[in-house]
Each structure stands twice: as structure tokens, then as C-alpha cells.
Chains A and B, each alone.
Chain A
Amino acid sequence: MTIGLVVLAQATADGNAFAQMLVDGISFGAIYALLAMGFVIIFKSTSVINFAHGALTGLGAFLIAAFATVLDFPGRYLTFLPEWAQWTVNVLTALVAAALFGILLERVFLRPMVGEALFAVAIVTLGVDIVVRTITNDWIGTQPRPLGAPWGLEVVDLGWVRIAWSEVIQILVTIILLGAIAFFLRSRTGVAMRATAFDQETARAQGVNVGRIFSVAWAIAAFLAGVAGLFYSIFPRRATGVDQATAFIAFRAFPAVIIGGLDSIPGAVVGGFAVGIAESAANTYLTFEFLGNGFPGIVGYLLMMVVLLIRPYGLLGTPEIRRV
């Protein structure tokens, strides 16, 4: 298998470049997939199109920077642990804090909007995005804040492809999270969440506390956004750390949501990796001067337009999104 891959890689015009392109694409795609998944979870279970997802990403990354490097909390009290484990505990604490912020935002800004038109609620989330981004940026300040990943700039060189340690870990973490979400969706709360997503009134008739489901959905989405923010703010992405522009990553993840189908969680994953690989391919092969440096950033949108022409509801979305 590995040999096959090597042969395939070397057989391509520039095999190494191709393999490198794939690795980069998958690792970037994982970030998009995490963001898109959270977006879809919120949309499905609470009927909110969440334009504040970027703000959640920036907030999550900032909290990780704060807990892991500024405060070193609670790691500083866990001296019996190796350093990387202390860092991991700090990050998990930050992610829990991010999830709590997610719950709070839903409770304060979106719960009162239950029953209002989809569009009106989407506009409210734009307001939430601005509020959260402003506050987070104030906390971040003008300098990027490093997240202090213990594996730093280390790279595994396999000869035909180079993978950063952080990418290896990122892909592993993403796989674990995908598995955890799949498992969750079959759990008691997960089944209740899917029931709520499908038919809120009937879910309530089964005794599901729909408000609690909203909280869980936002907690999960904020957690996933935090993880995406983490991997976006370390080497080999933006190694300097989280800064005021981190939140804009969400705009590059939105096409992933649409490509996969607004209401499909597997779709979000497929869309995320599709956009990641497409961007990476553009980065590797489309280096025409006249397209400029920003071109890979719009590849996701181009791909989205093509997909929408062929499948108006996305790859895995259901044709009529709202049924009553």
C-alpha cells in the first residue's frame, strides 16, 4: 500500500509535489471540516444560520492562548505531568471554556429569537459575530498570541513528503473527533438532538427539553471551532498564533457547508476536505502571476458554484430544507 502510494507519487509529473499537495489539503481540509460540522450542527438542531462561527473560532483560539501560554492554567498545578500533558490539559480547559461561551451566547442572544424568521435570526448572528470579535480582539491586542504547541516546528520527513508533527496530530485529533460525533449522534442526547432537528414539536412530545439541546449544539460547535482555531493558529498554518484576522477563517469554511449540503453532517466533512484539497491544489499548480496571491482563498467559492450548478442542495443535503 505504502509502496503503491510511493510509486503513484513518483509516477506523477512531480510526485512529491502532488503528495505534499494532498497532505496540505487534508490538513487544511480538517480545519474546514471541523468548522463546517459545527455550523451544520447548529443549523440542524436550532435552525440558526450562524454567521458568528468565525468569532467562535477566534474566541476559541484566544482562550487556548490565554490558558496555555499566558495563564498556564491548570497545568501549573500539575507539575507531576510531563510538559506536553500539562499543555493538553490547559487546552482542554480552554475548550470547555469556549463551549460554555457558546452556551452563553445562544442563551442570551438567540433563545429570545426562537420562532422568528430564519433570515432575521441570521442577521442577529452577524451582530453577535461583531460583538464577540470586537471583545476578543480587544483581549488579543495588536500582537499575535502564540498557542505554545509543544511539538513546535518539528517535521517528519518521509523523503517523498514532509509532514509537520502538528499536522499528524491534527489529523489524528480530527479522526477522533469525527468518531466522537458519530458516537454522540447515536447516544440518548444525540438521538434527541436529531429528533429535535427533524421535528421540534414531536421531540418535545417525547419529553425532550429542546432548550437543553440548543445548549448542547452550541457547546459542541464552539468546542469544534476552538479546535479548528487551534490548528489554524500553529505551525504550519499561522505559526505566530491567534490574531485579529483569525476569525476570518470561517469565511473560507462557509463554501464547505454549502458544498456538503447545509443540513448534512457527513456533507460538512466531505465539503471541508474538498475545499481544503482544492485550495491546496490551486496553491501548488495555479501559480499564475495575474491571479495574485489571494487566489487559493476563493477556490472554495468557485468549487461551491460548480457544485451548486450540478446539485443545488449540495452533495449530501436534502432537497427541501424546511419542512413543517
Chain B
Amino acid sequence: MLAVENLEVVYNDVVLVLRGVSLAVPDGKIVALLGTNGAGKTTTLRAITGLLDIHEGEVTKGEISFDGAQITEEDPSNRVRRGISQVMEGRRVFVEMTVEENLRAGAHTNRDGERVKEARERVMTLFPRLADRRQATAGYLSGGEQQMLAIGRALMQDPKLLILDEPSLGLAPLLVQEVRDIIVEINQQGTSVLLIEQNAKMALSIADYGYIMETGKVVMDGDPAKLLKDEDVKEFYLGLHATGEKKSFRDVKHYKRRKRWLS
């Protein structure tokens, strides 16, 4: 369905951030894209959805195709129309608008009244809490509710592929569980998912396939069971959020490990 091949992205004409990233999201699957801060996950997302230009970024090499069509240079709104929809890092809900208006903004490219209605039903069933607060100003929702709204908004265009950028960021463990279950449910309803995460444990627990990125490259990929068993992955990603002490210890060892991956 989605295929990214040998993608190279440069910011400000000089900063080479992606150095030949390749990945694929097959129809109906959940694919996890993991990596630490600054690995280039969000940049990959921007390239796929066509939003590099505001960040002075540019695809300098490689190709992105969706359902067989070349979309590397396509206008972002056309890509949404094709069925690629995203939940951006940091939620980015329109806090000045109501919940309902946020959802309508999400349905912008969806001009088919019936489909919009179905999409809204689906969102309301997935997130009953949003249903109760449709007329509330989005800015007054809690962080977790805002994340739900961001996901709901992305579902309003009835996408074939949903890309989520760190949806678990800043959520309490219980809410992370909830988000995970919702992603599974969305996927079971027929939407393919590309899940970008630092929380590898969560992502790999539901993914059909996983990629691990480091400094602009995919350094490892495979099925989750294999990745979970890998010593490096265990060390860097699992329990990364455990305690501050452990985290800093890992940060020290990070450099050595990365070198090994790259060699």
C-alpha cells in the first residue's frame, strides 16, 4: 500500500536528515516505526504527507508511492484525498474550536455526506467521551481527551492509512493502554496503520512488522518477536521510560551501540 524507497531528505538545503530510508506498510497491517529523539521519524512522516516545505525541507532522492501511484511530489491535500491521514506529534488540536468543529475540519476532504456520517459514528463509538463533549471547546479537554480528538479528527476523512506520530507521548500508562487498544480496533475496522513511537514495548506489542531508525537510517527491521528478542532493542527501547537513572545510563551507552549498528 505505502512504499517508501531510499528516501533522502535535506533541511535548509544543507542538513541531511534522512539518508536512504526504505519502508513499506502492507494493506491492513500495523507497522511500527521506532527510533530515539532526532532519528528522523517525524521527518519521514512529513515526507510521506507532503508537509516538508513549511520546515524548509525537501526530498532530494527516493520515491514514495501509495496504492501504486507516485506521490513523492504531490500536493498534501491530494495525498489526504488518496486516503493518507495523520495524527501529528503533540496532538495539535484546534483548541479555539469546538470538538465538533475539529471533527469537521478533519472531514475537510470528505465531501460525501454518507461517508462523513459513518466516519462520525465510528469516531463517537471509539471515543464515547468525545460524544459527550461535542460542543465543548477543544482547549478545555484533558490531554488524553485531546489525543483522542486528534485521532478522531484524522479518522473523519475515512483514511485507508492512518499514520500516528508518538500518540503515547505524555500520557499516563493507563491511557497508553487505551490508545493502544484503540489503534488495534481501528486497524481491525480495515485501516492500515503506521505507528511512529519511542515506546517500543507498546508499539511492538501490536505491530505486524517493525522498523528501527537511527540518525536518518533504518538500522533494523523484522517482525516484532524478533525485534523484541534483540539485545540492542531490549537495551535501548524497552523500559526507556522506566526510571530516570536507567535512562541516563543508557544514554551513555547509546553512542557505542549506535556505532555497532551502523558498521
Contact = CB atoms under 8 A, between A and B. Distances in A.
Query: Which of A188, A204, A207 has the most C-beta atoms of chain B within 10 angstroms of its own C-beta?
Result: A207
Given A205-B86, A206-B153, A207-B109, A194 B97 contact: yes
B76 A207 contact: yes
A208 B86 CA distance: 13
Contacts of A194: 94, 96-97, 101
B243 to A, nearest CB: 33
B22 to A, nearest CB: 24
B108 A202 contact: no
A122 interface: no
Contacts of B109: 206-207
B76 A203 contact: no
A195 interface: yes
Chain B, interface residues (CB within 8 Å), range: 20 to 34
Query: Which of B75, B95, B108 has the most C-beta atoms of chain A within 10 angstroms of its own C-beta?
Result: B108
Contacts of B88: 201-202, 205
A88 B81 CA distance: 40
The secondary structure that dominates the A interface is: helix
Interface in A97-140: 115
A160 to B, nearest CB: 44
B92 A202 contact: yes
Contacts of B108: 188, 191-192, 195, 206-208
Interface string A183-217: 00010100110110011111111111100000000
B169 interface: no
Interface residues of A, number: 19
Nearest to A187: B104
Nearest to B75: A209
B125 to A, nearest CB: 21
A322 to B, nearest CB: 14
A162 B88 CA distance: 59
Given A198-B97, A199-B94, A202-B88, A191 B75 contact: no
B43 to A, nearest CB: 14
A195 B54 contact: no
A206 B97 contact: no
Nearest to B76: A204
A205 B104 CA distance: 13
B50 to A, nearest CB: 8
Given A192-B108, A195-B105, A205 B76 contact: yes
A134 B104 CA distance: 43
A71 B76 CA distance: 44
B105 A191 contact: yes
Contacts of B153: 206
B92 A204 contact: no
A9 B75 CA distance: 61
B157 interface: yes
A191 B51 contact: no
A203 B51 contact: no
B75 to A, nearest CB: 7
B49 interface: yes
Contact of A204 (B51, B94, B97, B101): B51
19 contacts: A191-B101, A192-B108, A195-B105, A198-B95, A198-B97, A200-B54, A205-B49, A205-B51, A205-B76, A205-B80, A205-B86, A205-B88, A206-B80, A206-B106, A206-B108, A206-B153, A208-B105, A208-B108, A209-B75
Interface of B: 49, 51, 54, 75-77, 80-81, 86, 88, 92, 94-97, 101, 104-106, 108-109, 153, 157
